[in-house]
Chain A
Amino acid sequence: MSLSTDDRRAQESGTPPVKTRAAAGDRPVTKDMPLRHRLRRDRTLILMTLPAMVLLLVFAYIPLAGNVVAFQDYDPYIADNAFQAIAQSPWVGFEWFQQMVNDRLFWSALRNTLTIFLLQLTLFFPVPILLALFINSFVRPRVRAVAQAILYLPHFFSWVLVVTVFQQMFGGAGLIAQTLRENGHEGFDLMTDPGLFKFLITFEMIWKDAGWGVIVFLAALAAVSPDLYEASAMDGANRWRRMWHITLPALRPVVALLLVLQVGNALTVGFEQILLQRTAVGPGASEVLDTYVWNVGITNGGFSYAAAVGIIKGIFGLLLVLGANKVAHLMGEQGVYKK
């Protein structure tokens, strides 16, 4: 065990080292305890997680076995149920994966997915943090409540509605274009421009969900003791210094956690939203991995190929989570989990 600088300094000065992790100290050491004892000790906790475990098992882990169809030429219709159909479908090895390598549309979908992810990371991710700081700066609870309610509201709109609202506002026959035309200017059509599409959907996402994302950050801010602010104010720290030294550090673990989670979801950049606007800009600009899987698998019945694409997406996502978690550790944060 290495000693922290504080401990070392304490040793040098002759005073006994202070146990910095006092809170964790009352947790019994589990390593040497037999499994049986541990089970008995944590019985209540295990029982409480059981329903969630069952859900996960039934809806996530068991269906994972269905991935075998990626190595078959699977036809779900040749037998009475999926198990028989899997048993009867011929095996084709890695043929679908080889196909994927040569599939122009797959690469285009992957490229679009990553571009949209990067845009979301740079444009969407910071917005809830800024909004949280903004709301936090309101002192009067009433104003604060109203501001929060207004910001949360769009989260409860369906994507169909959001897309329609955007079409009515920014479409070629929308409010803005029409007003421009009536006043002798050129109209414009934001909704059918493939070049702007990725920005458009990021913008839609900010409008719809940034307010909702604020909740987590507000909770983190609420946990900061007001004493700290008062003390620093007494010491002459101005508004900006207080934010820099108290508010932002308080948000740091939450930001790191969400960032890791976000990276893990890098290949899931939105489905319904993109599917709804696919024709408006064409698949070249809008096809992402999820819509591609949907079109190949569900719409065209290419279940095996879609499953193969899904597997690749899953593996890639897992690697990204592990990588991001590692980075979080290097930055001294907790991340999603720690060994």
Chain B
Amino acid sequence: MTPNSPSAPSRRRFLASSVVVAAAVGGGMPLLTACGGGSGGAKNEGTTTGKKLKDILPAYVPSKAVTPDIPSKNGSADGFTTALPADQLAVSVPKKLGQGSELRVMAPLWGTSPGDGNPYWKAMDEAAGVTVKWQNQDGNVYGQKLGAVLASSDIPDAVVVPGWELGGKIPSAIANKFADLGPYLSGDKVKDYPNLAAIPTGAWQRAVFAGKLRGLPMPAEATPNITPFYRADIFEEKGYEVPTTTQEFYDLCKEINAPKSKVWACSDMTWSAFVFFGVLPEKPYYWKLVDGKLVNRYETDEYLEALEWSRSLYSAGFVHPDAKAETGDMRTTFSSGNVLMYNADISDWYAATAVQRLDKPEFRMGAMDFFAAAGGDPVIYEASPSNIWCFVNKNADKKTIQDVLALANYTAAPYGTKEQRLKAYGLEGTHHTLKDGILVKTEQGNNQVFATYEYVASPAPFRAYPDFPDVAKGVIEWQQRQGAHLKKPLFHGMQIQEPTRYTELNAQFEDLEKDIVRGRKKVGDMQQAVSDWKTKGGDKLRDWYKKLLDETGESAS
């Protein structure tokens, strides 16, 4: 798992790793609560739009700290390929805002905690004016810890919740257990925290839960984070062509596959297949209008076709056995050349390159452009403007809330500032060195400086890899090419809370997808599951969404 921007929406994890157990069963949970229906129904259901939303959202004051080397286009991040010397960095937090509170912050961590009292955390706390007592939990099983902690009477001062953990009753917990930040941030009030004011409005909008601004967002690109990677160096050497249709992909797999010499063509490609076949995103953006009627992702032909195609890769033996068993780290398997294609979060590009180039300078990977299954332009559904939020305990006193915001204002500093340099690279000399414009993290830097503070709040999306400018360029250009094909799903950008009686409705599908692509169940079993889904509440859910659609319109912005 990559420290930078973890996992796909509504997926608890990305890479296979045996320490992890995903997903959920529980199909057929009873429908106990009374019917509410519609956004105006029961408490905490539906979404917030219109004037009510406008009154809540913070003002937007863009940051002018630095101009990116590759400016954002088509929903991509800003790209940075260079690093300024420390004395030329801008300062976005001239006065320490923190009042010295001790903050207990629970956050996911993909990696090993550097431990209390390490120089990086100390320096960050000192600069922000707070003392953070981190309660880091393994990011791969974060949801399980989250549910238990939120059910206890001892909730930390601030809690990070990723969007893919919003299953079950977690949204109810967010509405009941976390503070309304509106009194501190709505409208012009956010201007006390200039870096928070520079967070794009869309990201804030997804942070509105149950009618109140409760979350501090981590903004994300509009382009998909799931990226089909290939080994560019090996492709070049062997003369493989990057595929442009699913058939070409299959044929290429056949050419590459050589288990005898420990080379498999690919890892599990289901998530890429969903894009190749134009499958709708996951809850709550999983509807499309066909002749005035809402159709769910699970009911579409595209969905079945995508699963069927992924299944064909498995049954032909192209998929690495470890991917089938979901053990081991696919990034490592890919880096060592045991698979030549895999899909992962786009930050893997940097993560894998940084490790490999230490002793293999010729290591190069690339991201293939998404294509429509039969060739031509793909339909790529736009990603949510933010998908990880930090919440503040509703019982926190004013000073604590202000100190969380002070910390957030510090961590949301944009690239090219002194604050961001400290957050992302630690202390010069200890965690990184900067010589002739080349910024390199030291071993101590790699062991101590990784995403923790990020999750408290982040600036508008950017990718800065001054140590590997070719990666920065590759990432941004890929995003801009994919961005040309973006399409907004229904309800885009809205934070929607489904009625609690439907929360278990979709739980079975993730297991079933895995069963089908791995050949343990037939594609036909999915059709059975979909008809169960309809009778168990899917059709009622459709009515609920239809009513919501009539009230709110198709998209938030």
State the Cβ distance, B269 to closest chain A Cβ, in Å.
16
Judge whether B28 and A99 touch: CB under 8 Å. yes
Q: How far is the CA of A278 from the CA of B326 in the complex (A)?
A: 9
Sorted from nearest, which 5 A-B pairs have the closest CB atoms? A172-B321, A301-B168, A76-B151, A81-B153, A77-B173
Binary contact track B15-30/A, C-beta < 8 Å → 1, others 0: 0101101111111111
Q: How far is the CA of A3 from the CA of B325 in the complex (A)?
A: 63
Q: Tell me, yes or no, whether B32 is within 8 Å of chain A by CB.
A: yes
User: Given A75-B169, A167-B328, is A300 in contact with B18 using a C-beta cutoff of 8 Å?
Assistant: no
Judge whether A194 and B520 touch: CB under 8 Å. yes
User: Given A300-B168, A301-B168, is A283 in contact with B25 using a C-beta cutoff of 8 Å?
Assistant: yes
Judge whether A163 and B23 touch: CB under 8 Å. no
User: Given A167-B322, A171-B322, is A77 in contact with B26 using a C-beta cutoff of 8 Å?
Assistant: no
Judge whether B169 and A76 touch: CB under 8 Å. yes
User: Which of A82, A103, A282 lies in contact with B520, CB distance below 8 A?
Assistant: A282
- Interface segment among B107-115, B141-149, B221-229, B440-448: the answer is B141-149
* Cβ contacts under 8 Å, A276 to chain B: 18-19, 21
Q: How far is the CA of A8 from the CA of B146 in the complex (A)?
A: 70
Q: How far is the CA of A282 from the CA of B143 in the complex (A)?
A: 21
Judge whether B151 and A171 touch: CB under 8 Å. no
Judge whether A73 and B260 touch: CB under 8 Å. no
Tell me which of B321, B395, B514, B515 has the highest count of chain A C-beta atoms within 10 A of its own C-beta.
B321
Judge whether A95 and B511 touch: CB under 8 Å. no
* Cβ contacts under 8 Å, A295 to chain B: 23-26
Quick one: closest B residue to A83, CB to CB?
B153
* Cβ contacts under 8 Å, A194 to chain B: 520
State the Cβ distance, B460 to closest chain A Cβ, in Å.
32
Q: Tell me, yes or no, whether B480 is within 8 Å of chain A by CB.
A: no
- Interface segment among A22-30, A184-192, A208-216, A235-243: the answer is A184-192
Quick one: closest B residue to A188, CB to CB?
B321
Judge whether B514 and A279 touch: CB under 8 Å. yes
Q: Tell me, yes or no, whether B172 is within 8 Å of chain A by CB.
A: yes
Q: Tell me, yes or no, whether A298 is within 8 Å of chain B by CB.
A: yes
User: Given A78-B176, A81-B153, A276-B18, is A105 in contact with B326 using a C-beta cutoff of 8 Å?
Assistant: no
8 A-B pairs with C-beta separation under 8 A = A76-B151, A105-B27, A182-B260, A191-B327, A283-B25, A283-B515, A295-B25, A305-B30
Judge whether A173 and B321 touch: CB under 8 Å. yes
Q: Tell me, yes or no, whether A151 is within 8 Å of chain B by CB.
A: no
State the Cβ distance, A290 to closest chain B Cβ, in Å.
12
Quick one: closest A residue to B144, CB to CB?
A298
* Cβ contacts under 8 Å, A80 to chain B: 153, 395
Judge whether B259 and A279 touch: CB under 8 Å. no
Tell me which of B27, B327, B511 has the highest count of chain A C-beta atoms within 10 A of its own C-beta.
B327
Q: Tell me, yes or no, whether B504 is within 8 Å of chain A by CB.
A: yes
Q: How far is the CA of A47 from the CA of B151 in the complex (A)?
A: 36
Tell me which of A96, A279, A285 has the highest count of chain B C-beta atoms within 10 A of its own C-beta.
A279
Q: How far is the CA of A92 from the CA of B32 in the complex (A)?
A: 8
Interface residues on A, range: 35 or more
Q: How far is the CA of A282 from the CA of B510 in the complex (A)?
A: 11
Judge whether B26 and A296 touch: CB under 8 Å. yes
Judge whether B169 and A171 touch: CB under 8 Å. no
The DSSP consensus for interface residues of chain B is loop
User: Given A95-B32, A167-B328, is A77 in contact with B144 using a C-beta cutoff of 8 Å?
Assistant: no
* Cβ contacts under 8 Å, A173 to chain B: 259, 262, 264, 320-322, 338
* Cβ contacts under 8 Å, B176 to chain A: 77-79
Q: How far is the CA of A301 from the CA of B500 in the complex (A)?
A: 11
State the Cβ distance, A161 to closest chain B Cβ, in Å.
10
* Cβ contacts under 8 Å, B172 to chain A: 75, 77-78
* Cβ contacts under 8 Å, A282 to chain B: 511, 514-515, 518, 520-521
Q: Tell me, yes or no, whether B33 is within 8 Å of chain A by CB.
A: yes
Name 15 extra pairs, CB < 8 A, besides A75-B169, A95-B32, A105-B27: A76-B150, A82-B152, A99-B29, A167-B325, A171-B321, A172-B321, A192-B325, A276-B21, A278-B21, A279-B514, A282-B521, A299-B23, A300-B24, A302-B29, A305-B26
User: Which of A75, A167, A187, A281 lies in contact with B18, CB distance below 8 A?
Assistant: A167
Q: Tell me, yes or no, whether B177 is within 8 Å of chain A by CB.
A: yes
State the Cβ distance, B456 to closest chain A Cβ, in Å.
22
Q: How far is the CA of A296 from the CA of B25 in the complex (A)?
A: 6
Q: Tell me, yes or no, whether B540 is within 8 Å of chain A by CB.
A: no
Q: Tell me, yes or no, whether B170 is within 8 Å of chain A by CB.
A: yes
State the Cβ distance, A181 to closest chain B Cβ, in Å.
5
User: Which of A78, A92, A181 lies in contact with B259, CB distance below 8 A?
Assistant: A181
Quick one: closest A residue to B320, CB to CB?
A173
Q: Tell me, yes or no, whether B324 is within 8 Å of chain A by CB.
A: yes
State the Cβ distance, B127 to closest chain A Cβ, in Å.
34
Q: Tell me, yes or no, whether B119 is within 8 Å of chain A by CB.
A: no
Q: Tell me, yes or no, whether B74 is within 8 Å of chain A by CB.
A: no
Binary contact track B334-369/A, C-beta < 8 Å → 1, others 0: 000010000000000000000000000000000000
Q: Tell me, yes or no, whether B427 is within 8 Å of chain A by CB.
A: no
Q: How far is the CA of A90 from the CA of B338 in the complex (A)?
A: 55
Judge whether A167 and B327 touch: CB under 8 Å. yes
Judge whether A77 and B169 touch: CB under 8 Å. yes
Q: Tell me, yes or no, whether A124 is within 8 Å of chain B by CB.
A: no
Quick one: closest A residue to B314, CB to CB?
A192
* Cβ contacts under 8 Å, B143 to chain A: 299
Judge whether B26 and A300 touch: CB under 8 Å. yes
Judge whether A302 and B321 touch: CB under 8 Å. no
Quick one: closest B residue to A305, CB to CB?
B29
Q: Tell me, yes or no, whether A136 is within 8 Å of chain B by CB.
A: no
Q: Tell me, yes or no, whether B523 is within 8 Å of chain A by CB.
A: no
User: Given A160-B19, A187-B259, A283-B511, is A171 in contact with B25 using a C-beta cutoff of 8 Å?
Assistant: no
Q: How far is the CA of A189 from the CA of B320 in the complex (A)?
A: 11
Quick one: closest B residue to A283, CB to CB?
B511
Judge whether A172 and B325 touch: CB under 8 Å. yes
Q: Tell me, yes or no, whether A11 is within 8 Å of chain B by CB.
A: no
State the Cβ distance, B427 to closest chain A Cβ, in Å.
34
* Cβ contacts under 8 Å, B167 to chain A: 299-301
User: Which of A92, A102, A280, A284 lies in contact with B326, CB distance below 8 A?
Assistant: A280
State the Cβ distance, B260 to closest chain A Cβ, in Å.
5
* Cβ contacts under 8 Å, B324 to chain A: 172, 189, 192, 280
Quick one: closest B residue to A76, CB to CB?
B151
Judge whether A301 and B25 touch: CB under 8 Å. no
Tell me which of B151, B177, B521 has the highest count of chain A C-beta atoms within 10 A of its own C-beta.
B151
Q: Tell me, yes or no, whether B507 is within 8 Å of chain A by CB.
A: yes
Q: How far is the CA of A275 from the CA of B503 in the complex (A)?
A: 23
Binary contact track B129-161/A, C-beta < 8 Å → 1, others 0: 000000000000001100110111100000000
User: Given A171-B321, A173-B321, is A302 in contact with B328 using a C-beta cutoff of 8 Å?
Assistant: no
* Cβ contacts under 8 Å, A96 to chain B: 30
State the Cβ distance, B553 to closest chain A Cβ, in Å.
30
Q: Tell me, yes or no, whether A142 is within 8 Å of chain B by CB.
A: no
* Cβ contacts under 8 Å, A334 to chain B: none
Q: Tell me, yes or no, whether A117 is within 8 Å of chain B by CB.
A: no
* Cβ contacts under 8 Å, B507 to chain A: 300
Judge whether A102 and B327 touch: CB under 8 Å. no
User: Which of B28, B168, B259, B520 lies in contact with A284, CB distance below 8 A?
Assistant: B520
Judge whether A281 and B520 touch: CB under 8 Å. yes
Tell me which of B19, B328, B395, B520 has the highest count of chain A C-beta atoms within 10 A of its own C-beta.
B520
Q: Tell me, yes or no, whether A247 is within 8 Å of chain B by CB.
A: no
User: Which of B21, B32, B169, B325 lies in contact with A275, CB distance below 8 A?
Assistant: B21
Tell me which of A95, A174, A282, A303 has the highest count of chain B C-beta atoms within 10 A of its own C-beta.
A282
Q: Tell me, yes or no, whether A164 is within 8 Å of chain B by CB.
A: yes
Quick one: closest A residue to B154, CB to CB?
A81
Quick one: closest A residue to B32, CB to CB?
A73
Tell me which of B170, B395, B518 has the highest count of chain A C-beta atoms within 10 A of its own C-beta.
B518
User: Given A173-B320, A284-B520, is A301 in contact with B18 using a C-beta cutoff of 8 Å?
Assistant: no
